[in-house]
Structure 1
């Protein structure tokens, strides 16, 4: 039997397979059984999310430490999950999650920091943790914040979850020089839509994961006839399969496969190169709000 979702459903956002689907989809999709998912939290610093169980499959995205997910199935070492952050559905390693017990209290507010096993920066770090990772902090000392699992993080590198940045372009600029990585969301590697999503998330603005979703959902459409001078700082410029951020007059900030990193370059030059060599013409411009 070949399983396919009805046209209205996007497999990236719909937890449904031929053998199993989310209980809330009963009556909307065909499946052998419907299950209530288990609310869990990512327990590793970086967890790849893939469209299949194949180890060599291209990834779709990444889950960060503390990210809340719903786990619908575990089988063969893989968990079938949906991210609460952006709704993305896929497969991740089964041992990467733990039950939600208490809500997160803090987020990582710098590009990257370390989780230590004790209150000393001389100790070998347990692992690095990335911007927008979520932690439940039990107590703080003069230097460290102590998590509910006993980890120690430099307190100055964290912010309460309700405290957000105000300039997403400035946040995006902290990723300059980061290697391009398909499906990446951190300074270890990031892709074009991951850069937009991560920068906006730091400002408390939730947006979808992929460029096609972002172009439909983020901000309001801005007319564009090809003149970069008509665009404002913070505008998002879209191509079919690519997105960049206007960071200044005739300046584009983006993670891209041409430079294989996050760069700033002349917007007019990028438009010409992308038109001629990769994604074609600009398909749209979206504006969230005035950015200082």
Structure 2
């Protein structure tokens, strides 16, 4: 973890009463614990900033992702840190299972059903989102066999497989509902879309737009002329990020349309500046 983010509460598992043992000597806390790794057993597990059903969603953990848990309360809340992007928050303890075996495959469809047997006519027991991780133990007809059920093998890829065009990945989610804190097939926010698309290409990506602005790519000059932009550039406004599809088009998840949309770039630049602020940064990935 970089020094810049060392004490960001979104990324630092530390409270006045409890902190990760690896932070001993760095932060002050009444108690330090090692934490225990678990795996997400729900199709999607909401992560909250506070242990309350009414608390706003800050991000989502997907099936098969791992989390280091430092506390489980009597009320059934688990406080922990996601291993992939280091986000810290509260999950339902019921969403967790013991870590047992490393994932072998990931979901490449926007959503895929899990069947109790090798037949598409059976009622599915769950729907897994793009990027969910699972352990495949074998195959049967056209299905991959997992501990939780049968999944159409064409909707999976080996865990190490990488997409080659994150802009094209993002475009697959066009029409998906906008959801603050979302990064699943149920909905996404602007930074969730960027994170999911880049992660699919093997590019490590932080969760929130300000983190992405600080960590990703190289800043390039931008005078406001859309012709200066290239496919794959990330445009950052205060609290928002979009992906340049080409010099005429922006891909983004936006609350304005409450969806992932393809919007004329010049119109988006004018609309967002009038509603909130001008472009703050343009980052170009290597």
Whether TM exceeds 0.5 here: the answer is: yes
Is 1:121–2:120 an aligned residue pair? yes
Q: Distance in 2 between matches of 1:187 and 1:202?
A: 14
2:236 touches 2:281 (CA, 8 Å); kept in 1? yes
Q: What SS is found at the alignment partner of 2:167?
A: helix
TM-superposed CA distance for 1:187, in Å, is 2.7
TM-superposed CA distance for 1:281, in Å, is 0.9
* Counterpart for residue 66 of structure 1: 64
* Counterpart for residue 135 of structure 1: 134
Q: What SS is found at the alignment partner of 2:170?
A: helix
Q: Distance in 1 between matches of 2:198 and 2:6?
A: 27
TM-superposed CA distance for 1:142, in Å, is 2.6
TM-superposed CA distance for 1:58, in Å, is 0.8
2:108 touches 2:131 (CA, 8 Å); kept in 1? yes
The equivalent position to 1:26 in structure 2, one of 9, 24, 27, is 24
* Counterpart for residue 89 of structure 1: 88
Q: What SS is found at the alignment partner of 2:112?
A: strand
Q: What SS is found at the alignment partner of 1:269?
A: helix
* Counterpart for residue 162 of structure 1: 160
TM-superposed CA distance for 1:7, in Å, is 9.4
Q: Deviations over 1:87-128 (max 9, x none)?
A: 000000011111212110000011110111111111111110
TM-superposed CA distance for 1:250, in Å, is 1.9
TM-superposed CA distance for 1:54, in Å, is 2.0
Which aligned pairs between 1:205-224 and structure 2 lie closer than 5 A?
A: 205-224=203-222
Q: Distance in 1 between matches of 2:18 and 2:191?
A: 29
Could you list the runs of 4 or more consecutive aligned residues of structure 1 that deviate by over 2 angstroms after TM superposition? none
Change (3 A) 1:234 1:7: closer
Q: Distance in 2 between matches of 1:263 and 1:288?
A: 22
* Counterpart for residue 3 of structure 1: none
Could you say what the CA RMSD is over the residues aligned between the two structures, in angstroms? 1.3
Q: Deviations over 1:233-270 (max 9, x none)?
A: 01000001000000112210000011110111111111
Q: TM-score, normalised by structure 1?
A: 0.94
The answer to which of 6-15 and 158-167 deviates more is: 6-15
Q: What SS is found at the alignment partner of 1:171?
A: helix
TM-superposed CA distance for 1:8, in Å, is 5.2
Q: Distance in 1 between matches of 2:41 and 2:249?
A: 38
Q: Distance in 1 between matches of 2:207 and 2:37?
A: 21
The answer to which of 6-15 and 91-100 deviates more is: 6-15
2:188 touches 2:253 (CA, 8 Å); kept in 1? yes
2:182 touches 2:192 (CA, 8 Å); kept in 1? yes
* Counterpart for residue 100 of structure 2: 101
Number of aligned residue pairs: 282
The equivalent position to 1:46 in structure 2, one of 41, 44, 47, is 44
TM-superposed CA distance for 1:150, in Å, is 4.1
* Counterpart for residue 144 of structure 2: 145
Q: Distance in 2 between matches of 1:255 and 1:103?
A: 32
The answer to which of 6-15 and 131-140 deviates more is: 6-15
Q: Distance in 1 between matches of 2:137 and 2:149?
A: 10
Q: Distance in 2 between matches of 1:94 and 1:178?
A: 28
* Counterpart for residue 79 of structure 1: 78
Is 1:202–2:200 an aligned residue pair? yes
